[in-house]
Amino acid sequence: MQSSEQEEDLRLLRESARTLFDRAGGSGRSRKLRDAGGEFDPDMVRELGEAGVFGVAVPEEQGGLGMGLAAGGVIAEEVGRVIAPEPVVATIGLGLGLLRRLCPEHPKLEQLVGGEASLAVAWQERGPGGASADATCRYADGKLTGGKAWVVGAGGTQDFLVVAEADGGPVLVLAEASADGLVTTRRAQADGSSLGELSFSGTPAAELACGAAVQGALSEAVADATALAAAELVGLSQRAFEITLDYIKTREQFNKPIGSFQVIQHRAVDLNVMCEVAQAAVREVLMRMDGETDASIRARLASRAKARAVTAARKVTRDAIQLHGAVGYTDEFDIGLYLNRALVLSAWLGDDAYHRRIWFDAREEEGAAQ
Amino acid sequence: MTDWNAMSDAEFRKEVRGFLEAEYPEELRHLPHRPKFAEIEHWHRKLHTKGWVAPAWPAEYGGMGLNAAKLLIFYEEQQRWGVNRGRDMGVQMVGPLIIKFGTQKQKNYWLPRILSCEDIWCQGYSEPGAGSDLANLRTRAEIDGDDFVINGQKIWTTMAHDATHIFMLVRTDPDAPKKQQGISFVLASMDQPGVEVRTITTLSGETEFCEVFFDNARTPRENLVGELNKGWTMAKALLSFERIFIGSPSLAQNALGQLESFARGRGAFDDPVFRDRFAQAALDVEDHAALYSRFADQLKRGETLGADVSMLKIWVTECFQRITELMIEAAGPDGGTVGPLQVGNVSVDVLASFYKARPTTIYGGSNEIQRNILSKAVLGLPD
């Protein structure tokens, strides 16, 4: 049970984030950005930064609000509700997650918190069957070679934080967007956004941190981002459900609202229950991650959250289309935007089947260790 | 008199756990069937001496006077240790009814007899034509001098064959404009010529449910509880705490624990498909517990629970059923075998769990009824 003071802080944060996104145009703004080419709005990033959104989980002594991941989850849920394309979760979880753990003095941290700059984190690499466990991207003599994949927020003028292998182990380096030998290929995503595939050929980059600390910070940051992506899916699912509920209350067939038919009612209840379980579970996870220092337990909690959120979002967004009937299959109705965003968020950082596997294996290891 | 509510939650939990672990008879832990009173009488005596028979009743009536937070802890500890609920219809249903709506005379007479189990109660609600549609009940109680004369039939009456008394909803005004009106709450003795009990054999071979036939049975008019024809409202008022209790995680958690040790012994975890299905079930249980905590926190803050608490029951009972299906799957060719299956040093009665899970989606308001309630009262969907 959280303290009532903390609960009140989170409630106020939720209210102000919701007002901010609604005033900016809600899901309508997201549709416009998609139609205009799919990238996010730098002015919105600045506005979010000024409101303190990116710094919620950054400690106060580093210029953040120091409210923890629970507060990050509140923001992520609100982002999900309006399917905002800004890389809020990637910034809070990955970008700031790495910088605040490895080099809190770096000026980029302050710029990211303030929304004055964006930074895309490149850490995954493509293997034969999906994500590779081994890094082939090399860093030597101040230059990067190799490639990175699935980079969120790589469509603009932002710089890149890259995790690469050096002779002394893993390093975190900073490469400028316009650096020599950097080629960015954009892979179009279902929601109109893109993921970047980067290739480096002798690309100059500045080393920010090296050694085992980089691996540790990366695992922690990925766990944070995974749990926050779960929260974004929770907000998305909740809003998709609300839209659907409104629709079945007003759409009439056989001279009655279709929401008066029991089969529709029971399906709506099942979606509602899914949403509530997901919300309770993900919020509990974020709260517990804030109080947990053991990295493997934090990772297992994050997997639990993402597994639940993806399961719920899949059920809710698919059923939402069915309950809308034929108009659900049109681009004109907003419900499809939620489905498309759910597809992208579910695949990013691992889907439910993946995270159940991770969760189960971690549970087995803990059991064996005891 | 101890003021349990003044203790910290942790202290209270320790106190309850200590007592149960020291005093609860080992052979009664995780009892797979519903016991007759004689089987658990020695445990009941211990509880009675300790003054712990009625945790929710106010202290002035011989209860522990626990607030919602302490009550949840008490039940959690009972479930954790596999403590049988005993014959608790009197404590859970009749006592609260009399405390809330009864006369002083009724309180003085009945409450001590409930605590001592001098009277053992069963609940006469359902009828052949009144299950989910309970307000459709037809059993009549007509005034004849100082008595009610009762005619009709109750069914699914749990342990009626081992009860001395029945508390029942009866129709006292067949001409009321709405069927919810004209229903009253009466108490009656089972030990009389006009009452006949027949046990019903269930799918699992148990006989805990009964049919009870009333053929000019009698009960004094002073055994009416509350106002005449106001029984329906009273019955609904009794359900508030039961609605979170019926959705508590324990049934599914215990089953999951059994599944895990059984599946491990059987080597079922070597199969990646089984591993994933187990992980799904385990996460379903863990995430349900998160939602349960949210409602429990509401109670602890002294708030009243809304109709949305029904979702706990839907989720946990359906999850419980999926877990017992996985047990059968893990049993492989033994999946149809009656009785305990031994693997290593654990023994699991797979079919007993499976059968136990079946009625959970039917009783306490079937899951379909729960969905009706949620769709109307929570989602505001139209008729």
Reported as type and span, the H/E element at residue A165 is strand A159-166
Pairs across A and B, CB distance < 8 A: 91
Interatomic CA distance for residues A287 and A302, integer angstroms: 11
Sign of CA dihedral B284, A236, A280, A361: positive
Residue A131 pLDDT: 86
Contact B287, A281 (CB under 8 A): yes
Residue B240 pLDDT: 65
Mean pLDDT, range B16-21, rounded to an integer: 96
Reported as type and span, the H/E element at residue B252 is helix B250-266
Interatomic CA distance for residues B21 and B17, integer angstroms: 6
Q: What is the CA radius of gyration of chain A?
A: 21
| pLDDT per position as a tens digit, B127-147 | 999 988 999 999 999 999 999
| pLDDT per position as a tens digit, B302-343 | 888 899 999 999 999 999 999 999 999 999 999 999 999 998
Strand, helix or coil at B38? helix
The ipTM (two decimal places) reads 0.94
Return residues 362-381 of B near A (CB < 8 Å): 368, 371-372, 374-375, 378-381
Contact B287 A259 (CB under 8 A): no
Residue B7 DSSP label: S
Contact A280 B290 (CB under 8 A): yes
Residue B238 has pLDDT above 80, yes or no: no
Chain A residues closer than 8 Å to B382 by CB: 249, 256-257, 259-260
SS (H, E, C) chain A: CCCHHHHHHHHHHHHHHHHHHHHHCHHHHHHHHHHCCCCCCHHHHHHHHHCCCCCCCCCHHHCCCCCHHHHHHHHHHHHHHCCCCCCHHHHHHHHHHHHHHHCCCCHHHHHHHHCCCCEEEECECEECCEECCCCCCEEECCEEEEEEEEEECCCCCCEEEEEEEECCEEEEEEECCCCCCEEEEEEECCCCCEEEEEEEEEEECEEEEECHHHHHHHHHHHHHHHHHHHHHHHHHHHHHHHHHHHHHHHCEECCEEHHHCHHHHHHHHHHHHHHHHHHHHHHHHHHHHHCCCCHHHHHHHHHHHHHHHHHHHHHHHHHHHHHHHHHHHCCCCCHHHHHHHHHHHHHCCCCHHHHHHHHHHHHHHHHHHC
Taking CA–CA distances from A303, the nearest residue in chain B reads: B283
Interatomic CA distance for residues A86 and B246, integer angstroms: 43
Chain B residues closer than 8 Å to A353 by CB: 276
Residue A177 DSSP label: T
The burial of A335, by beta-carbon neighbours within 10 Å (0-12 exposed, 13-18 middle, 19 or more buried), is given as: buried
| pLDDT per position as a tens digit, A177-213 | 999 999 999 999 999 999 999 999 999 999 999 999 9
The burial of B261, by beta-carbon neighbours within 10 Å (0-12 exposed, 13-18 middle, 19 or more buried), is given as: middle
Q: Who has greater pLDDT, A2 or B370? A: B370
- Domain B121-234 - what CATH class? mainly beta
Interatomic CA distance for residues A246 and A259, integer angstroms: 9
Residue B35 DSSP label: P
Strand, helix or coil at B143? strand
Chain A residues closer than 8 Å to B287 by CB: 277-278, 280-281, 304, 308
Chain A residues closer than 8 Å to B378 by CB: 272
Residue B76 pLDDT: 84
Is B242 in the active site?
yes
* Interface test with chain B among A258, A304, A360, A365, by most B beta carbons within 10 Å: A360
CATH 3.20.20.210 fits B238-378, yes or no: no
Chain A residues closer than 8 Å to B282 by CB: 360, 363
Tell if the pTM clears 0.95, that is, is over it.
Answer: no
Indicate which residue of B242, B260, B325, B329 is catalytic: B242
Taking CA–CA distances from A284, the nearest residue in chain B reads: B290
Residue A158 β-bridge partners: none
Mean pLDDT, range B286-303, rounded to an integer: 90
Contact A360 B375 (CB under 8 A): no
pLDDT band at B287 (very low <50, low <70, confident <90, very high): very high
Q: How far is CA B95 from CA B42, B43, B121, in A?
A: 22, 20, 10
Sign of CA dihedral A144, A147, A150, A156: positive
A206's CB contacts (< 8 A; 6+ apart) are A142, A173, A174, A175
Q: Which two tokens stand for residue A183?
A: 């080629």
Contact B353, B327 (CB under 8 A): yes
B39's CB contacts (< 8 A; 6+ apart) are B28
Chain A residues closer than 8 Å to B371 by CB: 265-266, 269-270
Contact A53, A76 (CB under 8 A): no
Domain boundaries, chain B: 4-86, 121-234, 238-378
Contact A276 B300 (CB under 8 A): no
Residue B241 pLDDT: 66
pLDDT band at B235 (very low <50, low <70, confident <90, very high): confident
Taking CA–CA distances from B378, the nearest residue in chain A reads: A269
Residue B33 pLDDT: 82
Contact A285, A301 (CB under 8 A): yes
Q: How far is CA A188 from CA A70, A126, B81, in A?
A: 31, 17, 55
Mean pLDDT, range A210-225, rounded to an integer: 97
Interatomic CA distance for residues A14 and A279, integer angstroms: 14
Taking CA–CA distances from A311, the nearest residue in chain B reads: B280
Contact A277 B288 (CB under 8 A): yes
In angstroms, what separates the C-alpha of A84 from chain B's closest C-alpha?
A: 26
